[in-house]
Every structure is written in structure tokens, then in C-alpha cells.
Amino acid sequence: MFTHQQYVDLILSSTTSKKLSVKTITYSDVIDFKSWCKVNFKAKTLSERCYGKKVDKKNKVSFQVSTFFEFIFNPIKPGEVLCRPFIDNEISNETFILSKTKGSCASIPTIEAFPCYSSKLLINILKMNDLQKLKQYIPEDYINFYESILQWPTDVSSQLDVEEEF
């Protein structure tokens, strides 16, 4: 098992040209795309050729990622996607307008997905006690990593719940 820093070092040392860089992701880097999508994109949409009464209900095509193999986005027509059932297939293509506002493109969301996790999560006190017991078996190279975990805040309420069950 590797520590986070060992993974970083391994990646950085994998090339002599120093073309790779490593960015450590924090909670603030995780963006809330779920609520952003609901505001900017349709939940269900039909192919452009399927709107109106001319197309029989059984022949209407809904947008489903799993039924297409190639997706072509045109920057001139934001929010629109050309879908093909086979790669480089010029026949039976379907065009879908996914955005709620035709011809406009939503900006990337900036709302953090987990703002309540901006600090370290509480660790169950019983788990923390178990980690403390394991400390004697941790190799010296990894001890700093585990000691940093042992400094995390603990949740005493979960211990009380366990004690009340017995």
C-alpha cells in the first residue's frame, strides 16, 4: 500500500522529460454538476426530426447515451449534439438539443459539491482506537502518514451509540 505522497513521487519520477505534473484534489475541486445539469439541460429530449405530428410515436427517438457511439458537438451550435449509432456513420444520424435555452451554452459550474466537507471528516472514536493499536506494526517509512490520520478529529457520539446497544 502506498501513501498519497508516494503515488505523487511515482508519477513524477516516471518520466525524465518532466512533462507530467500532479494536482492534489481537495473537496473544493469537486463541483456540483448534478444540480447544474437540472438547471441548464433537459432531462429527456427527442431527436429534432421527431418533433411534431408527422412522426409516429413508435418511431420517435429519445436521447440515450447508451444507444449511440459517436457524439459530435459543434461550437457554432452550443447545446446541440449530433449522435451517430456507429462511428463515422453518415446514415441515420440524430440531432438533439440538450440545453434548455436553444443556441446558448451554460458556463461550467462553480458551486462546490461538498461545501460541508471543507474540513476533515470526523473519524469514529472506535476506529481511531483501532488505528492507534495498529500503530506499532506500521513501518517507519509510513509512520508520518498514519500519525497525521491519528490527529484527525473524532466523533464520540458513535461510541455512545454502540455502548447503549449492549
Phi, psi of 156 (to 5 degrees): -80, -25
Strands 154-155 and 123-124: parallel
Does a structural domain hold residue 125? yes
Domain of 84 in residue numbering reads as 33-97
Interval 52-76 mean pLDDT: 87
- Mean of the pLDDT values across residues 135-155? 87
Q: Is residue 149 part of a domain?
A: yes
pLDDT at 159 over 80: no
Residue 161 inside a domain? The answer is: yes
The answer to the question of residue 54 being in a domain is yes
Q: Distance between CA atoms of 153 and 139, rounded to whole angstroms?
A: 24
40 and 22 in a common domain: no
81 pLDDT above the threshold of 70: yes
| pLDDT digit string, tens, across residues 11-26 | 888 877 877 788 888 7
Task: Tell me what the mean pLDDT of segment 70-77 comes to.
Answer: 89
pLDDT for the residue numbered 25: 80
Q: Where are the beta strands (DSSP E) in 98-160?
A: 123-124, 154-155
Same domain for 50 and 1, yes or no, is: no
Residue 166 pLDDT greater than 50, yes or no:
no
Q: How many domains does the chain have?
A: 3
